[in-house]
Structures are given as structure tokens and as C-alpha cells.
């Protein structure tokens, strides 16, 4: 493969990302600009930005690799990741925006009036962020190594440096512009080569994956004899994790704080559903085509690069190299956009710690938090063995579904939630899902019920967290916040109603201070 085109593509994406991010610096003046873009991002801009950060390396490269390896069962990943926004739309989006919070720990403290609960939420944000960042860095290293022969650490460090520059320069303002641009870049980067690949496929006379030896299990969902050993339990647990984990991802939730009001948050969610639905058609197609033309990658364990390999295998020549470079540009954009969103959520939490607030101030604390928050996952990515990107992101979804999902649902819709209940539930779900994931990695097996329970914990860890929150809250009703009725009214009353009431009283009622 001629590496010149790919190197130019990576350089162009990096320079465009830095340029757009520095452009956002012109509009970042206040603390609100840095944390939530002054809550002024329109639904179209915000939905594009959410698509940019949500469609990570797992979506761009990992889904095609999983479908190439395991077949139709893996379509549950993109279906779940998209449908998760339906749950977000129905239960969380508008009330969360009305809360006036900046981060999930902010919401937690506002709802249950507990600094201890805030501390647990902050810890979970960091853990989920690290689980999400590590595969982005590893994927960046893999892509640059594959297309231009650079050492694996080069891609990881390059992404980390660009992300930190963007976050510290303009905060949420900068990364909103960057992520919106990168969604449309990723969509174009997958769509244009796919048109050529589909044409080459139909001209080649190999119309189905079965011609390449695909088994009945590969072609049929929820088959009992798949190579993954995917049982009905594992399928439903995967659905639990992807459907419910979306609302618990800190970097996704924080974007809804940037909408002007709850109505805009709902519109944003509807647009996100459309944007994700269109996007996920393409990695699925790449996985199916890869079964016909790149089945040998399953034997070598390099299935994550199938998207990048297909243009040269099917088309070749200068056109194949150019299409491969375009796909490389999209992959690099995926690493940058998702890493930017996750780093922003980490920085927002770290910047509101007691030491950062007292010594540095909010904006300086955010900048320092961005640099510090990225060091651990970067180090892990450099020293640890590579894990399939979709699998690692799936672990983050399981932890999110088992912690923040029950917290948000109960916090928004159940007035009897207490601080001890919230803390106990988050710890039960976090240790349950996180411990199971660690045990699954250590065991390194995917056979038998125990392995399924450990590798797909969401089906039992999320109900465990939910039941723990409810039972402990019922047992500690004396700890229920005294202002819970006012809080529930704030979460569920349209902004226009509150503004009209304020006008009638002649009183200005701004958002309450954080915490």
C-alpha cells in the first residue's frame, strides 16, 4: 500500500481538528462557555456533535470486525447503541437539561443533597471515561501502524496531544465545532468508498457471504453454536447494556446540558436517532463484504482493520489507495472526536474537585483536569495488550448501565430516592459490573454460564443496582432531601412555564449554582 495518501489524510484531519478547535477559542470567554457552551447549542449542531463523539473506534472499525468474525448476532451492538437514545429521549433528556447541572456529579449532588454521593459519581465518571478512552488510543496506534507503518505508540500519543490542545484551548465550545465537523467527515469517509465496494462486489460475481464459507450460525442471529457461544442470556444482557448504558455515559449526557432548554434537548435526541441510524448501516455492510473478501483476517486476529483493507483488496491501484486514505481519515476522526468528548467529561469532573476549585479556579481546573485525566488511559493503552475496541467499549456500557442508568431514572422520576440509596446502588452496580469484567478478562474464556455471566454482566448488575437503590432508599426515608418536591417540579416543569411565572412575580430566577 502506498502510505503517502494515508499520511496526507491523517495530517489533514489533525490540522483541521486543531484549526477548528482554535477557532472555537474565539467564542470561549466565560466558565459557562468552557463547561456547557453557555447552553446555546442548537439541536442540529448538538446532534451532529453527539454523533461525532458517540461514533467511536468501536463504531467505525469494531462493528465491522465483529460482524466479520461472529456474524448477524453482532448487529445487536449498533441496534442497541442507536435504540439507547429512545430511552434517553423518553426518560432523561429534557429533565436532565432542566436540572441546570454541568456534570453527572452535579446532578447527583443537586438531587440527593450529598457530597458523598457526588464523590461516588465522580469516581464512576473517571472509571467509565478511562474504559472508553483506552481503546480509542489503542485503535489510533493500530490504524497508523497499519496504514503508514508508524510505531503503535505514535498514533496513541498524537491523538492524546491533539485532544488536550482542543479541550484546554476552548473547552466545550471548541469540541462542539470539532465533533460536528467530524461526524460528517466520518459519514462521508464510509459512504463514498462503500459505493465503489458495492459496485465491485456485484461485478465480481460473489453475491453472498455463504460463498466464502460462512456457517449457518454466522448468518442466523441468536444461534446456539456461534463461535462466541452467544446464548439467549448473553444477547439480552448485551441489549440491557447498550440500551440502558447510553444514558449513563458521561460524555453523552453532558452534551444535553448545552441545549438551550428541554424542548431543544428532545429535538436533539430525535436528530441523533436519525444520524446514528444512517451511519450504522455502513459498518454493517463493510463487515458483510469483509466476510467475502477478507475472511483471512479472522485467522490472524486483525479483524478491526477490515474497513481499511477492503479498498485495496477489491479495487486496488490508485483509486483503492485514495479510498483507503479516505477511510483512514474517517478512522482518525473517530478517535479524535470520541476522545475529545470523554476527555471533556473527565476534565469537567476533575475541575470541580475541592482542590481544583480552591487553588486553580474552574477554567484553569478544567485545563489541568484534561491533561491529568488523559494520562492514565494513555499509559494503559501503551503498556497493555490490545483488546478488541468494541469489546472494551462494551465494558464501559455495562458499567454505565449498572450505575448511572438507575440513578438517573430514579432521581428524575422517583421522589423517594435518598443519598444512602443512591450511593449503595451505584457501588453495587459498579463493583458488580466492573468486578465481573475484570474477572472475565483474567479468566480469558467465553464458554459456560459463569463466563457468560462475567463477560455480559448488565442483565444482573443493572437490576442489582436498581433494587439496591430502591430498598436502601425505602429504609432511609429520614434522609430524603427536604427540597425534593421543589427539585421534582424543576425537573418536570417546562422552562416557559417557569419563565412566565417569574415574569408574573417580577423576579429573576437563574439556574441555581453548581453543587
The 10s digit of each residue's pLDDT in 188-223 is 999 999 999 998 888 876 666 655 556 666 766 665
At 46 the pLDDT is 85
Confidence at 299, pLDDT banded by 50, 70, 90: confident
What is the pTM for the complete model shown? Answer: 0.81
Start-to-end C-alpha separation, the chain:
54
pLDDT tens for each residue of 462-495 = 999 999 999 999 999 999 998 999 999 888 887 6
Does the pLDDT of residue 71 top 60, yes or no? yes
CA–CA separation, 472 and 421 (whole Å):
5
Calpha distance 421→417 (Å, rounded): 6
Nearest partner of 17 among 254, 238, 182, 251, judged by Cα: 182
Tell me the average pLDDT of the chain. 81
Domains of the chain: 3-381 (1.10.4160.10)
Confidence check: pLDDT of 285 > 70? yes
pLDDT at 508: 39
Q: At 420, is the pLDDT very low, low, confident or very high (cuts 50, 70, 90)? A: very high
DSSP secondary structure of 286-322: HHHHHHHH-THHHHHT-GGGHHHHHHHHHT-HHHHHH
What is the tens place of the pLDDT at every residue in 7-50?
899 889 989 888 887 776 665 556 665 655 566 678 888 888 88
pLDDT, position 100: 76
Question: What pLDDT sits at residue 38?
Answer: 62
* In contact, 251 and 344? CB cutoff 8 Å: yes
Q: Which residue has the cell 486543531?
A: 18
Rounded-to-integer distance, Cα 141 and Cα 381, Å: 9
Give the confidence band of 248 by pLDDT, cuts at 50, 70, 90: confident
**Which of 224 and 504 is assigned the larger pLDDT?**
224
Residue 173, C-beta contacts closer than 8 angstroms, at least 6 positions apart? 24, 25, 27, 28, 33, 34, 37, 38
Report how far residue 328's alpha carbon sits from residue 320's, in angstroms, rounded to the nearest whole number: 12
Q: In the structure, what pLDDT confidence band is assigned to residue 185 with cuts at 50, 70 and 90?
A: very high
Instruction: Evaluate whether 368 touches 355 at the Cβ level (below 8 Å).
Output: no
| Per-residue confidence (pLDDT) for residue 467, from 0 to 100 | 97
Q: Write the CA distances from 133 to 144, 313, 345, 347, integer angstroms.
A: 17, 31, 11, 13
Report how far residue 295's alpha carbon sits from residue 422's, in angstroms, rounded to the nearest whole number.
Answer: 47
- Cell numbers given for 441: 478478562
H-helix or E-strand spanning residue 421: helix 419-443
Which of 372-386, 484-498, 501-515 shows the lowest mean pLDDT across its residues?
A: 501-515
> pLDDT tens-digit profile of 98-157?
887 777 888 999 999 999 999 999 999 988 888 888 888 888 888 888 777 888 888 889
**Residue located via cell numbers 439556574:** 511
pLDDT of the residue at 116: 94
CA–CA distance, 277 with 293 (Å, rounded to integer): 25
Task: Note the pLDDT tens digit of each residue in 351-381.
Answer: 776 555 555 666 666 777 778 888 888 888 8
Q: What is the pLDDT of residue 192?
A: 95
* CA–CA gap between residue 203 and residue 139 (Å, rounded): 32
Distance CA 222, CA 234 (A): 9
Nearest-angstrom CA–CA distance, 147 and 132:
23
The CA dihedral of 277, 278, 279, 280, to the nearest 10 degrees, is: 50
Amino acid at each position: 500500500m502506498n502510505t503517502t495518501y494515508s499520511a496526507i489524510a491523517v495530517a489533514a484531519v489533525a490540522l483541521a481538528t486543531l484549526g477548528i478547535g482554535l477557532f472555537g477559542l474565539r467564542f470561549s470567554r466565560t466558565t459557562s462557555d468552557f463547561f456547557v457552551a453557555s447552553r446555546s447549542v442548537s439541536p442540529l449542531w448538538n446532534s451532529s456533535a453527539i454523533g461525532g463523539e458517540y461514533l467511536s473506534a468501536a463504531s467505525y472499525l469494531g462493528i465491522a470486525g465483529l460482524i466479520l468474525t461472529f456474524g448477524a448476532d453482532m448487529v445487536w451492538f449498533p441496534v442497541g447503541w442507536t435504540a439507547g437514545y429512545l430511552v434517553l429521549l423518553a426518560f432523561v433528556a429534557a429533565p436532565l437539561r432542566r436540572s441546570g447541572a454541568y456534570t453527572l456529579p452535579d446532578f447527583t449532588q443537586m438531587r440527593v443533597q450529598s457530597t458523598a454521593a457526588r464523590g461516588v459519581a465522580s469516581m464512576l465518571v473517571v472509571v467509565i471515561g478511562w474504559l472508553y478512552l483506552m481503546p480509542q488510543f489503542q485503535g489510533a496506534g493500530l490504524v497508523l501502524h497499519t496504514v503508514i507503518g508508524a510505531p503503535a505508540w505514535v498514533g496513541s500519543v498524537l491523538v492524546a496531544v491533539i485532544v488536550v490542545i482542543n479541550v484546554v484551548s476552548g473547552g466545550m465550545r471548541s469540541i462542539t465545532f470539532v465533533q460536528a465537523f467530524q461526524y460528517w467527515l466520518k459519514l462521508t469517509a464510509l459512504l463514498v468508498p462503500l459505493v465503489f465496494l458495492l459496485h465491485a462486489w456485484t461485478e465480481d460475481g460473489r453475491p453472498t457471504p455463504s460463498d466464502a464459507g460462512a456457517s449457518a450460525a454466522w448468518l442466523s442471529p441468536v444461534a446456539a453454536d456461534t463461535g462466541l457461544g452467544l446464548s439467549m442470556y448473553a444477547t439480552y444482557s448485551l441489549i440491557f447494556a447498550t440500551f440502558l448504558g447510553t444514558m449513563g455515559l458521561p460524555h453523552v449526557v453532558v452534551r444535553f446540558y448545552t441545549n438551550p432548554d428541554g424542548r431543544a434537548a428532545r429535538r436533539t435526541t430525535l436528530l441523533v436517532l436519525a444520524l446514528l441510524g444512517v451511519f450504522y448501516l455502513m459498518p454493517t455492510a463493510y463487515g458483510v463484504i469483509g466476510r467475502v473478501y477478507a475472511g483471512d483476517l479472522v485467522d490472524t486476529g486483525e479483524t478491526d482493520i477490515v474497513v481499511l483493507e477492503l479498498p485495496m483488496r477489491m479495487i486496488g491501484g490508485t483509486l483503492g489507495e485514495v479510498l483507503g486514505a479516505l477511510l483512514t481519515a474517517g478512522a482518525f476522526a473517530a478517535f479524535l472526536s470520541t476522545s475529545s468528548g470523554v476527555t471533556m467529561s473527565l476534565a469537567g469532573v476533575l475541575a470541580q474537585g475541592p482542590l481544583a476549585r480552591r487553588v486553580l479556579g474552574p477554567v484553569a481546573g478544567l485545563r489541568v483536569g484534561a491533561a491529568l485525566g488523559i494520562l492514565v488511559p494513555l499509559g494503559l493503552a501503551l503498556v497493555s495488550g490490545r483488546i478488541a475496541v468494541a469489546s472494551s467499549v462494551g465494558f464501559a456500557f455495562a458499567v454505565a448501565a449498572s450505575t448511572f442508568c438507575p440513578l438517573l431514572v430514579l432521581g428524575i422520576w422517583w421522589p423517594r430516592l435518598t443519598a444512602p440509596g443512591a450511593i449503595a446502588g451505584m457501588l453495587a452496580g459498579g463493583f458488580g459490573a466492573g468486578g465481573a469484567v475484570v474477572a472475565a478478562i483474567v479468566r480469558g474464556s467465553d464458554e459456560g454460564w459463569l463466563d457468560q455471566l462475567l463477560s455480559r454482566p448488565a442483565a444482573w448488575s443493572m437490576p442489582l443496582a436498581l433494587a439496591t437503590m430502591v430498598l436502601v432508599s425505602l429504609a432511609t426515608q429520614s434522609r430524603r432531601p427536604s427540597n425534593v418536591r421543589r427539585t421534582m417540579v424543576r425537573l418536570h416543569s417546562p422552562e416557559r412555564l417557569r419563565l412566565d411565572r417569574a415574569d408574573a412575580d417580577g423576579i429573576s430566577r437563574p439556574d441555581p449554582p453548581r453543587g
